């Protein structure tokens, strides 16, 4: 019984011919001693760590937690372990980047960013390690990416309001990736046009990317002469801020103003009123991202993929209702 045989027995090498008794003795001893092959030695020899990184902007952003969950599932299924890192730290701290990425402490990296601050990382990394952008389109042919149907989400959100009889529907834009922001804005615009309405420029207000920004934006809307009766927020955190602004101004939601956000999140149902949202398949986004990463690792060309199933979906809760004064009851 030699070290070689032990190694092969433990990794369940099918090509190893060995006496059954010997194999059992090996397995038994390993269990007994609680033996696990040393990660560093293994990685060095195999030039593969079995780890895949997911760099996220703001780990605790409730809107994106499903992405993490999905990636987790897919990674484990594929025999990998997922480790999360702070995307901003990675982009900012040269040393962290070296230690984790440039040194190949991981086999590949998923990037869930919110702006282009990580573009330099990407450029540096893509030659070394497979990289996949999650929820943003890759500007770089060496980097894969997956997105969801942002246009459709905003379209659905707007249509939901239109069906409730609203005509003056404002839109609170998001400060994140420009392309993503543009796609969502486009969804609102197209829905308005399809309904024969004119998407007024003054109904478009920058909602930032947080509740704080949403509140400011809604305050601006409220002070508008001809105030809209409904608002689509480019994400649900913005929507939350918008609700707060309404409440502060003494406006009833949904009786006087209807609000809908993009992305469902755990506490949306527990707000007062519950927030109507459009949900997107973020869990599947995370899963798919891992699969693409693994494909790249096997030498496939990086691709961009738009996830269209499961489709975006309106989850109606209390924050949207019929347009006041409208006879258009559904």
Partner DNA sequence: GTGAAAGCGCTAACAA
Partner DNA sequence: TTGTTAGCGCTTTCAC
- When asked if residue 29 is in the footprint of DNA (CB under 7 A), the reply is no
Rounded CA separation 301/292 (Å) = 10
Report which DSSP code applies to 230.
E
Q: Does 300 bind a copy of itself (CB under 8 A)?
A: no
| Number of other CB atoms surrounding residue 312 within 10 Å | 21
Instruction: Pick the stretch among 59-67, 132-140, 284-292, 299-307 that binds a copy of itself (CB under 8 A).
Output: 59-67
The strand pairing partners of 172, in sequence order, are 205, 233
**Residues in binding contact with a copy of itself, number by CB under 8 A:** 57
Under the binding rule (CB under 7 A), the answer on residue 17 touching DNA is yes
Is residue 98 involved in binding DNA (CB under 7 A)? no
Query: Which of 5, 8, 27, 65 lies at the binding interface for a copy of itself (CB under 8 A)?
Result: 65
Which 111-130 residues touch a copy of itself, going by CB under 8 A? 124
Print the SS3 string covering 65-120.
HHHHHHHHHHHHHCCCEEEEEEHHHHHHCHHHHHHHHHCCCCCCEEEECCCCCCHH
| Footprint on residues 27-46 left by a copy of itself (CB under 8 A) | 34, 36-44
49 binds a copy of itself (CB under 8 A): yes
Nearer to DNA, 3 or 32 (CB): 3
50 binds a copy of itself (CB under 8 A): yes
Of 3 and 41, nearer to a copy of itself (C-beta) is 41
Rounded to whole angstroms, how far apart are CA atoms 131 and 111?
A: 7
- Over the window 45 to 84, marking each residue x when it contacts DNA by CB under 7 A and - when it does not, the resulting string is xxx-------------------------------------
Instruction: Tell me the window of 97-105, 159-167, 256-264, 301-309 that interacts with a copy of itself (CB under 8 A).
Output: 97-105
Query: Do 167 and 197 meet the contact criterion of CB atoms below 8 Å apart?
Result: yes
Contact 154, 191 (CB under 8 A): yes
Binding partner at 5 among a copy of itself, DNA, none, C-beta below 5 to 8 Å by kind: DNA
Tell whether residue 1 is a contact of DNA (CB under 7 A): yes
- Residues in Cβ contact with 43 at an 8 Å cutoff, skipping those fewer than 6 apart: 49, 50
- N residues, the chain: 330
């Amino acid at each position: 019984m030699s070290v070689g045989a032990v190694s092969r027995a433990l990794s369940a090498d099918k090509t190893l011919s060995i006496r059954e008794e010997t194999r059992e003795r090996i397995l038994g001893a390993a269990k007994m001693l609680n033996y696990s092959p040393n990660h560093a030695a293994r990685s060095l020899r195999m030039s593969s760590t079995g780890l895949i990184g997911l760099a996220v902007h703001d780990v605790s952003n409730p809107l994106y937690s499903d992405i993490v969950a999905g990636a987790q599932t897919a990674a484990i299924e594929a025999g990998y372990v997922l480790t999360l890192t702070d995307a901003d730290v990675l982009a900012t701290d040269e040393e962290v980047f070296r230690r984790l990425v440039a040194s190949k402490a991981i086999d590949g990296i998923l990037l869930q960013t919110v702006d282009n601050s990580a573009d330099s990382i990407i450029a540096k990394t893509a030659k070394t390690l497979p990289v996949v952008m999650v929820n943003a389109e890759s500007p770089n042919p060496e980097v894969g990416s997956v997105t969801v149907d942002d246009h459709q989400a905003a379209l659905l959100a707007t249509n939901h309001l239109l069906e409730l009889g609203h005509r003056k529907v404002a839109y609170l834009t998001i400060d994140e990736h420009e392309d993503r922001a543009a796609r969502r804005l486009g969804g609102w615009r197209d829905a308005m046009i399809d309904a024969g309405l004119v998407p007024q420029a003054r109904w478009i207000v920058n909602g930032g990317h947080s509740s704080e920004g949403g509140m400011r934006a809604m305050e601006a809307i409220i002070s508008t002469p001809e105030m809209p009766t409904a608002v689509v927020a480019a994400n649900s955190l913005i929507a939350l801020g918008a609700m707060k602004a309404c409440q502060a101004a003494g406006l009833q939601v949904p009786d006087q103003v209807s609000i809908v956000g993009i992305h469902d999140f755990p506490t949306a149902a527990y707000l007062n009123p519950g927030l109507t949202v459009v949900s997107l398949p973020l869990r599947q986004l995370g899963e798919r991202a891992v699969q693409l990463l693994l494909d790249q690792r096997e030498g496939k060309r990086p691709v961009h993929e738009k996830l269209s199933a499961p489709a975006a979906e309106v989850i109606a809760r209390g924050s949207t209702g019929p347009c006041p004064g409208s006879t258009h009851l559904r």
